[in-house]
Amino acid sequence: MATRGLTVRHTNLLHQSRRGFLQCIARRNASAIAVPTSTASENIDHDVTREASVPNPDPPANSPTAAQLSEHTPYMVATYVRPPPMMVKGEGCYLWDAENRQYLDFTAGIAVTALGHCDPEMAKLLYQQAGTLIHTSNLYHNPWTGELSKQIITKTRSAGAMHTASKVFVCNSGSEANEAAIKFARKVGKTRTPSGTQHEILSFHGSFHGRTMGALSATPNPKYQQPFAPMIPGFKYATYNDETSINELITEKTCGVIIEPIQGEGGVNVATPSFLQALRTRCNKVGAVLIYDEIQCGLARTGQLWAHQILPKSAHPDILTTAKALGNGFPIGAAIVNEDVAKCIVTGDHGTTFGGNPLACRLAHYIFSRLSDPELQSAVQAKEHIFRRHFTRFQQKYPRHVTEVRGRGLLLGLQLATDPTPIVTAARERGLLVITCGTNTLRLVPPLVISEREIDEGCGILERAMDVVFGDGGEEVQGTKGQQEMAPKGR
């Protein structure tokens, strides 16, 4: 493949790393020949054996990649656990690492690169706008914030989603979009009850709304909340899809309810239409704002522009949050609000320095136009069926291990009976990237532009990985930690 989109430095790194990797192998092989009794360490022997047994072995401890990571790691805050490869190039549904190994990507940067890596038109627009105007702050008008806002509202309503969508607040990320939604809900509650009694926010177990303090307070995972406790007061938590608790937990004190129509990090759990309708009905009764967090499940990921648009208008939200695919890798997020919410927000209530900058908004305008295309959405639905045919084969082959398939469109989860992280490793070392979520769930969120051939290729690799881990006399494969935002403790 051509190295389109790589900087000269990274192109050189790729070639140098490949040469260095081959030299490492050659030195080790020469050493093994020169000393038949072998004085090499067991670790190096294991690396050589593994490199010979799998198509895409992880870079060993004495590789050029490992040397560069050793140089960089002391200067980086340890917020993530990453596997050994260092990605330096992307094109379409594929990534390449610094050792020039190719990977088919079923992760899309955690449901971000919906149009694939290094989309040519996006790269062209980025270059053009970067040479025209990047940033002015929100103290001044620019043409692209308004164009994007108008596009989001008109296309959302014409698609049959959020029929009351009125205005857009553009920010930089999903967590910021949810922070805005929480603040807006609090402001609505304060407007309705100036005494401040209507201030509580309800969210759900298994949810993931972000890591900033407001969004984290709405994410009831002790592993992430306890190190930063106490959380912001006024947050309550309910069981996802449990209609019996709604009346008790949503009261006159509730200003907002935030929910993912499909929980991504929580395990690809799909909210039932009756549950979402019940939330809407109860919110109407007490005057609470209903917030749908579609940061992962929105923007054509389910085969519709928005995941909730299959619902009747009577179940639509007051606020809709988005990010991830909106920038296809460029930082941007947005909170879409109806007029009842918008009229409560006045100048000075909220803001952002970088949010809505002309570069991000011009890119998002192009990306949204692609993702709102009905043909692309229909193709996503067809691709779901292709994936499900493969999943049926997996379940038939390993019924004790693959227990359930969940999700919609190209947000899909394979529920396993055991830890999925060895599958993540075995797949990566055979050229496929997959991630996990919830408890023992493999998550597949490929680019929406993935082809049938690439789906078949990736599912073939995934099946071979399962054969290695689940098959008779299966190989013991070290699990890959850190491959989900909400990893269970110890994983």
CA dist 368 and 326 (Å) reads 6
pLDDT at 54: 84
Contacts 24+ apart (CB under 8 A), 457-464: 457/104, 458/104, 458/106, 458/432, 459/387, 459/390, 461/104, 461/427, 461/430, 461/431, 461/432, 462/106, 462/390, 462/394, 462/423, 462/427, 462/432, 462/434, 463/390, 463/393, 463/394, 463/397, 464/426, 464/430
Q: How far is CA 160 from CA 151, 315, 361, 423, in A?
A: 14, 12, 23, 39
The vertex-315 CA angle with 312 and 319, nearest 5°, equals: 125
Q: 193 Cβ partners below 8 Å, 6+ apart?
A: none
pTM of the model: 0.89
Asked if residues 184 and 340 have their Cβ atoms less than 8 Å apart, the reply is: no
Distances from the Cα of 356 to the Cα of 27, 142, 151, 170, angstroms: 53, 9, 14, 5
Token pair in block for residue 282: 């109860």
Task: Note down pLDDT in tens along the chain; length 491 residues.
Answer: 333 334 444 444 444 444 444 444 333 333 333 333 344 445 545 454 455 568 889 999 999 999 999 999 999 999 999 999 999 999 999 999 999 999 999 999 999 999 999 999 999 999 999 999 999 999 999 999 999 999 999 999 999 999 999 999 999 999 999 999 999 999 999 999 999 999 999 999 999 999 999 999 999 999 899 999 999 999 999 999 999 999 999 999 999 999 999 999 999 999 999 999 999 999 999 999 999 999 999 999 999 999 999 999 999 999 999 999 999 999 999 999 999 999 999 999 999 999 999 999 999 999 999 999 999 999 999 999 999 999 999 999 999 999 999 999 999 999 999 999 999 999 999 999 999 999 999 999 999 999 999 999 999 999 999 999 998 766 677 777 666 665 555 55
- CA-angle at 162, arms to 265 and 270, nearest 5°: 30
Percentage of the chain exceeding pLDDT 70: 86
DSSP class per residue in 448-465:
TT--HHHHHHHHHHHHHH
d(CA 93, CA 104): 6
The 8-class DSSP code of residue 117 comes to B
pLDDT digits 0-9 by tens, 361-410: 999 999 999 999 999 999 999 999 999 999 999 999 999 999 999 999 99
- Residue 4: per-residue pLDDT: 37
- Alpha carbon separation from 471 to 119, 307, 324, 475, 479 (Å, rounded): 39, 37, 36, 8, 16
DSSP 8-state secondary structure symbol assigned to residue 317: -
Q: How many CA atoms, within 13 angstroms, populate the side-chain half-sphere of residue 401? A: 20
- Compute how many other C-beta atoms are within 10 angstroms of the C-beta atom of residue 61: 14
| pLDDT at residue 23 in the model | 43
The structure tokens 């398939």 sit at 405
Residue type, 400: R
Instruction: Please state the φ and ψ torsions of residue 319, each to the nearest 5 degrees.
Output: -135, 140
What is the predicted pLDDT for the residue at 488?
54
Rounded Cα gap, residues 7 and 90, in angstroms: 12
The predicted structure's pLDDT at residue 201: 98
**Strand pairing class (289-293; 254-259):** parallel
CB within 8 Å of 28: residues ≥ 6 apart: 40, 44, 47, 48
Whole-number Cα distances in Å, 435 to 85, 162, 361? 15, 31, 29
